[in-house]
Amino acid sequence: MDLSNYLSAELSILIPVLYAIGIFIKFSSIKDWKIPFILGVAGIVLSFAYLISKQWPANGEQWFGLVFSSITQGILAAASSVYANNLYKQYTKRNENSEGKTEE
C-alpha cells in the first residue's frame, strides 16, 4: 500500500511533527491513552490551517471539501505518527524479549 495515494505530499510533514508533539506530551502529566486523541485533533487543526492557507473557500461546497480534507488528512497523519511510534517501540523491545530465550 502506498501512503502517498491517501496522504497528500505537502501534509506528510505532519507525521514527524505529530510524532515530536507526541513525545513532548508523553513526558507531561497527560495520561498515555489520551495521546492519540490529542494527536488526532492536532493533525486536523494543522491540516486545516495548511489547507486554508493554500486557498480560501469561496462557497459552501469548497468549505465542505476543506473540512473533509482536513479531517481525513489530519487523522491519517496522526495515525501514521502513532504507528511509527509503535514500530519504534516494538523494534527496541525485540532485544528485551529475545535476551532470556534460547534458540531451539
* 85 belongs to a structural domain: yes
Question: Is residue 8 domain-resident?
Answer: no
Let me know the angle formed at the C-alpha of 43 by 54 and 94, rounded to the nearest 5 degrees. Answer: 135
Does 73 fall in a domain? yes
The answer to the question of residue 54 being in a domain is yes
What pLDDT is recorded for position 96? Answer: 72
Give domain status of residue 16, yes or no: no
pLDDT at 95: 73
Q: Which domain holds residue 54?
A: 29-93
Counting as low any pLDDT under 50, the low residues of the chain are 104
pLDDT number for residue 4: 64
Q: Is residue 2 part of a domain?
A: no
* pLDDT tens, residue by residue, 20-49: 999 999 999 999 999 999 999 999 999 999
Residue 12 belongs to a domain: no
What letter does residue 53 receive in the DSSP assignment? H
Tell me if 4 is assigned to some domain.
no
d(C-alpha 27, C-alpha 33), whole Å: 13
